[in-house]
Structures are given as C-alpha cells and as structure tokens.
Amino acid sequence: MNIFDYENEDSIGYVSSVDTATLVISVENEKMLSHLQVNHLPE
C-alpha cells in the first residue's frame, strides 16, 4: 500500500542531498515552485 502514487511526469525535480534534518531538492522546472507547499516536518 502506497501513501503517495505519483507518475514520472509529476516530478518537480530530484533529491540532491540529505543530511540529518535537511533535504535539498534540485528543481528542474522553476515554474513548479509556485505550486509547492513545505511544512515543518517533525524530527
């Protein structure tokens, strides 16, 4: 069972790096940034 079910064309970019509390995403289409919402994720 998946929580999210995305297709490749739904992608906004890829994970560039991961650290303990930080995730860096490299966005391929900057116009998609206006459609994003990032909330505080619990540690």
> Tell me: the pLDDT tens digits for 15-41?
888 888 777 888 888 887 787 777 766
What residue spans of the chain are helical by DSSP H? Answer: none
- pLDDT score of 14: 83
pTM reported for the whole predicted model: 0.47
Give SS3 for 15: strand
pLDDT for position 6: 81
CA distance from start to end of the chain: 24
